[in-house]
Amino acid sequence: MRLGLIAGNGRFPFLVLGAARAAGDEVTIIAIKEEAFPALEQLAERPPRAALHWVSLGQLGKWLSIMKDARVTRAVMAGQVKHTKLFTDIVPDMTALGVLMKLKARNTDAIVSAVAEVLKDNGITLLDSTTYLTPLLAKEGLLTRRAPNVDEQADLEFGYAVADAIAGLDIGQTIAVKSAAVVAVEAMEGTDAVIARAGQLAGSGVRVIKVAKPKQDMRFDVPVVGVSTIEAMQATGATLLSVDAGRTLMIDGDAIFKAADEAGIAIVGRRCGP
């Protein structure tokens, strides 16, 4: 099968590329110039070689041209594109401009859904971004040695409704709470920045809740946590991380739980759906 990999930043694209190759797919990589790590180029050169093209974020027409030339019929988005890029670095070509002009809102869901429709119109199916990474999805229940204490559990019960509401409005997917109060809410700045701000505002003892959107489209903007998340929490004295089971990528695998255990941080996977 011919697969198009649209790569943002982080380790996520590296993992998808490796898994796609293991599955026997022929991969063409569109690496977003403003985001993708240079090391992706070296990995693409390893046998079996994957064609790699560096393309700017707003060059949607070029994305389509590359994938058509490679006879790509399926595509997967991997890695992060910072939301702030919408206001700073994007220079849209005529194809992207046509998409943007039709939007009533420029939040993540609206923009990427519109891109997915353009791909579909050109015979390219956008797959779930977790297609090749199912083993890295968070499991349900306690994921670390230490379980939440009574106060932490109370903060979770308080925070879930707030986090779900914020995510449902496509504002952000992470909140920090302490003593039944919302300390910080994610917008465009990203999870680690929210954790750092929460520590500055409330000191140690913050609980971090990261959720999927109520109607999460698994093709894009899937919640992701890694060892860096635990390191950010440890730096501020945050004690608990909750993620949504089956809808959150634990991108560093067991290394996340090892880091959390060493830091005394509890991680739980919230059950989602029926």
pLDDT for the residue numbered 189? 87
Average confidence (pLDDT) over 181-210: 96
- β-bridge mates for residue 5, sequence order: 29, 76
Residue 274 has pLDDT above 70, yes or no: no
Q: How much of the chain exceeds pLDDT 90, in percent?
A: 78
Contact criterion met (CB below 8 Å) for 49 and 40: no
pLDDT for the residue numbered 186? 95
Q: Which two tokens stand for residue 116?
A: 């997915």
The pLDDT confidence band at residue 112, using thresholds 50, 70 and 90, is confident
pLDDT for the residue numbered 118? 94
pLDDT for the residue numbered 89? 64
- Name the residue among 263, 237, 172, 262 with its Cα closest to residue 209: 172
Ramachandran angles phi, psi of 121, nearest 5°: -65, -20
- Name the residue among 109, 111, 129, 166 with its Cα closest to residue 13: 129
**HSE of 65 in the Cβ direction (CA atoms, 13 Å)?**
8
**Residue where the block lists tokens 């920045």:** 193
The pLDDT confidence band at residue 11, using thresholds 50, 70 and 90, is confident
pLDDT for the residue numbered 102? 86
End-to-end CA distance of the chain: 34
For the chain, give the mean pLDDT.
93
pLDDT for the residue numbered 105? 79
The pLDDT confidence band at residue 217, using thresholds 50, 70 and 90, is very high
User: What digits encode the pLDDT tens for the residues 38-71?
Assistant: 999 999 999 999 999 999 988 999 999 999 999 9
**Residue where the block lists tokens 């003892």:** 205
The amino acid at 12: F
Q: How far is CA 39 from CA 74, 96, 175, 205, 210, in A?
A: 24, 27, 32, 37, 29
For residue 226, how many other CB atoms are within 10 A of its CB?
21
CA pair distance 133, 76, nearest whole angstrom: 11
pLDDT for the residue numbered 88? 66
pLDDT for the residue numbered 99? 86
Instruction: Pick 85 or 204 by higher pLDDT.
Output: 204
User: What digits encode the pLDDT tens for the residues 74-105?
Assistant: 999 998 887 766 666 678 889 988 888 888 87
The helix (H) or strand (E) run that includes residue 58 is none
For residue 88, how many other CB atoms are within 10 A of its CB?
8
pLDDT for the residue numbered 86? 64
CA pair distance 32, 83, nearest whole angstrom: 14
Instruction: Pick 89 or 1 by higher pLDDT.
Output: 1
User: What digits encode the pLDDT tens for the residues 117-137?
Assistant: 999 999 999 999 999 999 999
The amino acid at 107: N
> Sign of the CA dihedral 40, 42, 48, 53?
positive
pLDDT for the residue numbered 107? 76
Contact criterion met (CB below 8 Å) for 46 and 68: no
The helix (H) or strand (E) run that includes residue 235 is helix 227-236
Average confidence (pLDDT) over 29-36: 93
User: What digits encode the pLDDT tens for the residues 224-268?
Assistant: 999 999 999 999 999 999 999 999 999 999 999 999 999 999 999
